Each structure stands twice: as structure tokens, then as C-alpha cells.
Chains A and B, each alone.
Chain A
Amino acid sequence: EPEVTQTPSHQVTQMGQEVILRCVPISNHLYFYWYRQILGQKVEFLVSFYNNEISEKSEIFDDQFSVERPDGSNFTLKIRSTKLEDSAMYFCASSYYRISYEQYFGPGTRLTVT
């Protein structure tokens, strides 16, 4: 069964560094999402992406964040200058339709900013 994959599973970086988190959505899906979960808190929506542009974003998704689909398979989240408070689990998800009942999630990337 097709799955969303994410790499790396764990990323450690120093404050101020740039990080890129990578996701490979399910191949025929058209809508892509990033969520994050700070330890002990809720899973929060960051951004959705369709047709090579952002379709929705939350207040969390400020100028420090960007997303890109650099080729036909990868979907990336870049954090330009990481802060301690960016430490979280980042989940990628994809769906075929915008109003699909199900968003398929990846296993997450744990980002630790020191």
C-alpha cells in the first residue's frame, strides 16, 4: 500500500541554521500538507500546497518557513533560521482531493534545535 515517507527521521541542528525537511507524498495525490507537534502539545496545521503554490497557511507559518515541490515527487519544508521553539515533530500529509475524507500522514521528522 502506498505510504507517505519522510526524511530524515530525526534532525538535530543548531539555532540559526537552515533545515530542510523532506517528504515524498503518495504519487497520485495532488494536495500536500505540513503539520507540527511540539512535545506534549497538539498537532498544529502549518501549510497546505496545491498546484505549486500555497493554498492555505496558519499563523505559525511565517517568513521563516517555506515550502517547495522541487520535482515531481518531493515536497519540502524549509526553516531558514531555526529557533529553539521550532523543536517539534513535523508531519507531512497528502490527499488526492481537496475535500478528501482522508489525509495520509508520514511518520514524521523529529527536529531538535540546540
Chain B
Amino acid sequence: AQTVTQSQPEMSVQEAETVTLSCTYDTSESDYYLFWYKQPPSRQMILVIRQEAYKQQNATENRFSVNFQKAAKSFSLKISDSQLGDAAMYFCAYRSAGGANNLFFGTGTRLTVIP
């Protein structure tokens, strides 16, 4: 079974600085998708960024980028120029490219942004 591990329960960053959230996963599949979801307090989880395993290029969405290391099964999220609105719970998630389309989540990292 696929497992996703987020080893940082909490992180903090100064406003305008850069922070990296870690995620590792375990799978025997070669084709899959990886996601970072953001959950602000009392709000829905929203998709921040996704990475297809077959793509070597790391995904980027504005201030958010990932460092995808397929051999190491590592998928970290970098937030540049952190803003107060980035404060949230961040979940790393895995989904198979074939078969079941349910998501496997990590336990989350709570990010605090310090003004």
C-alpha cells in the first residue's frame, strides 16, 4: 500500500522569506501523481500544486514550487516570498495513475507565517 509521510508537524516562516515543507512517500508503482493541498483554518482543502511522476521537470505555480526526487521518493514544497495568507495546514498526497483514483494523504504540516 502507498504511504505518505510528512515529518514536520509544524513549521514557521517570517513573512517574505522562503520555507520548504518535506514529504516522502512509498510506492511500488512507476506512474502516479503527487499533490500539495492547502487547508486554511476552517476552510476547504484546495489544490496548490501537482506533479506527474513521468515528468522530470519540477512543477511551479507562482510562488510555489516542488522538488521532486523520484528515486528518493521525495516531494518537497517550497514557498517563496511567504505571505500571511499562506498560513494553513499543508497536506502532501499521492494518487495512482491507474486503478483506484483515491488520494493517500500525509498527516500534514501546520505552517505559521510570522509578520
Enumerate chain A interface residues (CB-CB to B < 8 A): 3-4, 31, 33, 35, 40-45, 48, 56, 58, 91, 95, 98-99, 101-107
The B17-67 residues at the A interface (CB cut-off 8 A) are 33, 37, 42-47, 50
Complex Cα distance A44/B102, Å? 9
B50 nearest in chain A by CB position: A101
The dominant DSSP class at the B interface is loop
Asked, given contacts A4-B44, A107-B44, whether A42 binds B105 with beta carbons under 8 Å apart, the answer is: yes
| B107 contacts the other chain (CB 8 A) | yes
Enumerate chain B interface residues (CB-CB to A < 8 A): 4, 33, 37, 42-47, 50, 91, 93, 97, 100-108
Complex Cα distance A10/B61, Å? 34
Which of the residues B4, B47, B97, B104 comes within 8 Å of A102, measured between beta carbons? B47
B106 nearest in chain A by CB position: A42
Which of the residues B42, B101, B102, B105 comes within 8 Å of A107, measured between beta carbons? B42
When the two chains form their complex, are residues B104 and A45 in contact, meaning their CB atoms are under 8 A apart?
A: yes
When the two chains form their complex, are residues B44 and A105 in contact, meaning their CB atoms are under 8 A apart?
A: yes
